[in-house]
């Protein structure tokens, strides 16, 4: 395991304790909440959905509760985040969502397995090389014409948010915030459909090109 993954395990041992509280600070209500908007994009049909780097499943459970016909798998490398996810799934008696400890760079799922893949609020904290590896892996496990939704931070959200990013996020987040998503997605065989803006964040909708 590369060093960054060791750091992720240590970091999220502590962050897991306050993670859901932080989420409430950024996205306090259902109105104009990107997590609910992401859930609305996914039809409640017989679809296999993968949530990459699902963390505590705070967003994944919103999809699972709205779409009881979806079969959803959440993957993450942090046992501490996954343990909270499992408690949440049990508490709400969610039957169409399961989680497993899996590295997003090497998921071991078969090619062309999922109809939809989501990845939320994680890419901004990763190095460019890792982001590309994860997106390539997502491309591999998505079915042809499968849908990818990336929910993540965006820039230009004012002084306080920029200060927050400077203090709490790694230096390379500033590179991420400048991404030309059309170019990046095209280079790994995705077509960009649209980008929608929400508080602090944007929702990128792309389709796998066969």
Contact residues toward ligand SAM (CB under 6 A) are: 5, 8, 12, 53-55, 58-59, 75-78, 81, 103-105, 120-122
Of 18 and 163, which has the nearer Cβ to ligand SAM? 18
Of 49 and 53, which has the nearer Cβ to ligand SAM? 53
E strands, 14-70, are 48-52
Name the CA dihedral angle for 177, 182, 184, 188, rounded to a multiple of 10 degrees. Answer: 150
Spatial contact of 13 and 79, defined as CB atoms under 8 Å apart: no
* 79-91 vs 3-26: helix crossing angle, rounded to 10: 40
Spatial contact of 91 and 171, defined as CB atoms under 8 Å apart: no
Residue 76 Cβ, how far from ligand SAM at the closest point, in Å? 4
62 alpha-carbon distance from chain centroid: 13
Of 127 and 207, which has the nearer Cβ to ligand SAM? 127
Residue 162 Cβ, how far from ligand SAM at the closest point, in Å? 18
Residue 129 Cβ, how far from ligand SAM at the closest point, in Å? 12
Residue 15 Cβ, how far from ligand SAM at the closest point, in Å? 8
């Amino acid at each position: 395991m590369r060093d960054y993954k060791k750091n992720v395990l240590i970091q999220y041992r502590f962050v897991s304790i306050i993670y859901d509280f932080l989420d409430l600070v950024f996205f306090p209500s259902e109105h104009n909440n990107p997590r609910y908007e992401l859930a609305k994009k996914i039809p409640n049909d017989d679809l296999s959905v993968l949530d990459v780097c699902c963390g505590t499943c705070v967003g994944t459970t919103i999809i699972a509760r709205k779409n009881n016909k979806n079969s959803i798998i959440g993957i993450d490398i942090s046992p501490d985040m996954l343990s909270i996810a499992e408690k949440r799934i049990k508490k709400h008696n969610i039957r169409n969502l399961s989680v497993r400890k899996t590295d997003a760079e090497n998921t071991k799922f078969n090619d062309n397995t999922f109809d939809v893949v989501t990845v939320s609020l994680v890419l901004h904290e990763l190095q460019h090389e890792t982001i590309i590896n994860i997106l390539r892996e997502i491309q591999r496990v998505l079915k042809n014409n499968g849908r990818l939704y990336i929910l993540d931070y965006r820039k230009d959200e004012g002084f306080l948010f920029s200060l927050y990013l400077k203090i709490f996020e790694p230096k390379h987040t500033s590179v991420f915030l400048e991404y030309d998503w059309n170019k990046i997605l095209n280079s790994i065989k995705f077509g960009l459909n649209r980008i929608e803006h929400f508080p602090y964040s944007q929702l990128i909708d792309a389709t796998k090109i066969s």
